[in-house]
Amino acid sequence: MFTLPLGDDALLRPLEPWQAPEFLAHMDRARPIVDPWIPWAALSTDLESATTTLQRYADRQAADAGRIYGIWLAGTLVGGVLFPRFDADTGVCEIGCWLEPAGEGRGLVNRASRALIDWAFRARGMSRVEWWAATGNTRSIEAARRLGMTRDGVLRKHSPYRGVRRDIEVWSVLADEWPPAGQAPRGASASADQAELDRLMAVFTGAFTNTGGRRPDLGVIRDIFIPQGRIIANVGDEPVIYDLDAFIEPRQKMLTDGTLTEFSEWEVSQRTEIFGSVAHRFSAYRKSGHHNGEWFEGSGHKTTQYLRTPDGWRMSSLAWDDAPATAVGQPPGSSV
């Protein structure tokens, strides 16, 4: 059985019926995230049904009609990638993925998917690799975008699941669009790059929101920055430079201990420049909320730098300056 290193102590290798107990334990951990989107997750609820799921893909592999592979992180199965459809006669196949929370934020799906796409194009001579995702499954759609795929269109009310017919987005990449071996995809277009940078900023600002009972999750900031990223507050006499942990921890506390409530921050304008594998964004933003029970509103500007990495665009640094407060009670540097 082959094993392909993915980095970060992660491995890609086939998932086979004899691994059903391990697959079932993993699926139980992943079910809250996977089950809303992947029908066969709901079909793998005990050892017999988990074995049946893996046997189905073993049969497809024997017929050269599909394949399934697992991703192991530090010896634990945390997700996988698969060919739900593989048609060598037409040269068209479909790739998909899933992941439990323990595997998130490491680029494992991207690396594993690129390995399968490479194999489909280079070893099997496929012409087209597709990615199907239900509209609303933003994680899957973002994964397709990071692979440099193009959104072909939407199949309206295509797939019934739990009594609801879902729209399905179809993304694809063609053999002549796929980069040479060893080179990461550069994105389907400049508009795709812009859309990804927009998404990263939306994730960043959205991480602080705790309006309407929403619980903020600043941990997602680690997913959108390179590990060595820096965040800089330049709102006083001297800049304050944070690494990711130093920035996240006190703000997570303020947003969950009652210090900051009904808080949100949003971008109101931006100017983005992209040059090859680097990008810069200059943004104006606003924010509002209650600080120790007092309402405040604020505004300011950010400058953000991005790098294109093998796992897609990531922020490398962000600096901000707040405008003077418009109401009593604004916490200095309370968010970003």
How many other CB atoms are found less than 10 A from the CB of residue 90? 10
Find out whether 44 and 50 touch, Cβ atoms under 8 Å. yes
For CA atoms 283, 287, 292, 295, the dihedral sign is positive
DSSP state for residue 46 in the 8-state scheme? S
Per the rule left: phi > 0, alpha: psi between -120 and 50, beta: everything else, 167 is: beta
Structure tokens at 30: 């992943």
Kindly list the averaged pLDDT for each block of 10 residues, start to end, along the chain of length 336.
81 95 94 82 88 96 96 94 96 95 84 93 96 87 87 90 86 89 52 82 89 85 93 90 95 92 88 90 92 91 92 92 62 47
Q: Give me the domains of the chain, ranges plus CATH numbers.
A: 4-187 (3.40.630.30), 193-322 (3.10.450.50)
CA distances, 84 to each of 58, 60, 96 (Å): 12, 9, 7
Residue whose C-alpha is closest to residue 184's, from 235, 291, 110: 110
Helix, strand, coil percentages (3-state) for the chain, rounded to 5, are 30, 40, 25
Predicted pLDDT at 190: 63
Q: Where are the alpha helices (DSSP H) in the chain?
A: 20-34, 39-42, 47-62, 108-118, 138-146, 190-206, 221-224, 244-256
Q: What is the pLDDT of residue 66?
A: 96
Alpha carbon distance 202, 195 (integer Å): 10
What the block records as the tokens of 13 is 């290798």
